[in-house]
Amino acid sequence: MTALLEVRGIACRYAQRAAVSDASFELQQGMLASLLGPSGCGKTTVLRAIAGFQPLTAGGIHLNGRRIAGVDRGLAPEHRRLSMVFQDHALFPHLTVEKNVAAGLHRKPAAEQRRLAHALLEKVGLTGLHRRYPHELSGGQQQRVALARALAPNPQLLLMDEPFSSLDPDLRDKLRQEVRALLKDIGATCLLVTHDQQDAFAFGERVGVMRDGRIEQWDTAYRIYHEPATRFVADFIGEGVFIDGVVAAADRIDTELAVLRGPVGHPPGARVKVLIRPDDIIHDDHSARTARIVKRAFRGENYLYTLTLPSGAEILSLVPSHHNHAVGENLGIVPAIDHLVIFAA
């Protein structure tokens, strides 16, 4: 399938600092994707380069087969047939909701502008609020207006920069689900930038993890979590710790925790680090294998226990909160590691 968006080896600089270095990925028509990474990794710069707000120092960007950005030339932002939803919504405070949505439709007759604005407001669940001003709306309603305005020109590509970061957790989850469902319903293609893993995983059919201006892995959320391509991705995504192991055979690693079996990919005798996530360690009061609790964090429906093995190595275990154990107790555990994630020591 031909990609709608192709980002090929792009680089961007701010003064003497490299913000993006050799970043590449593709986005198919109708796909929702997330670009995830810590602050300063370059993800917003990638978004700005696609939008036309940031020049390239290397590489190129194609949209629907047309080159829209390169080192030597690039289309002006208004000619790229894409729209952007900003973190702060960027609504016009002196315009009504209806006129904010219609701001990108100025070439159409006034009656057509009103018709399209009302249709989009209905789609985003704001019917009847067209005469209000932005300051009369909640944060979630303002975000919906920003989305409706971005969709009004019927862009080929929608870009979203941390769109849910200013919302409280309950509203954030609700709006994220509603926006995703709406974009899938209309067949939109969207790239969302976020530092929040829940936003990235819940929204994106593809997720890119960035570090120091490069994309370390572009994949499904499932594979990024269970099959991280690099040590950074393994450390950054989810929670987990690494324990020492020695490769005993092509399908076996000996560790202090247990003998682990599965594809290894390292020669016998090699010393390796094995990723152990909290859901890999099952609590079982009847297990002969135990570890001592050194920390615990209450999370409502569960506890996250930090446990130490006899060597002093730490592991994590996520346990339903009705199993209330104190720091210093020994916890019965059973390793249940379905996906071996291994890196050279």
pLDDT of residue 1: 62
The answer to whether 217 and 230 are in contact (CB under 8 A) is yes
Residues 6+ apart with CB under 8 A from 163: 85, 87, 143, 146, 147, 179, 192
Share of the chain above pLDDT 70, in %: 100
- Segment 109-135 shows an average pLDDT of 91
Strand intervals (E) in the chain:
3-14, 17-28, 32-36, 58-63, 66-70, 82-85, 157-161, 190-194, 206-211, 214-219, 241-249, 252-255, 259-261, 271-276, 281-283, 290-298, 302-308, 314-320, 330-335, 342-344
Report the range out of 74-88, 116-130, 214-228 with the highest average pLDDT.
214-228
Query: What's the average model confidence in pLDDT over 3-12?
Result: 96
Strand order of the sheet with strand 206-211?
Answer: 82-85, 157-161, 190-194, 32-36, 206-211, 214-219
b or e along 190-205 (b: 16 or more beta carbons within 10 Å of the residue's beta carbon)? bbbbbbbbebbbbbbb
Nearest to 53 by CA among 84, 25, 7: 84
Contact 105, 116 (CB under 8 A): yes
pLDDT at residue 164 in the model: 86
Instruction: Measure the CA dihedral 149/77/55/57, to 10°.
Output: 110
Report whether pLDDT(168) > 90: no
**Residue the block writes with tokens 């001592």:** 292
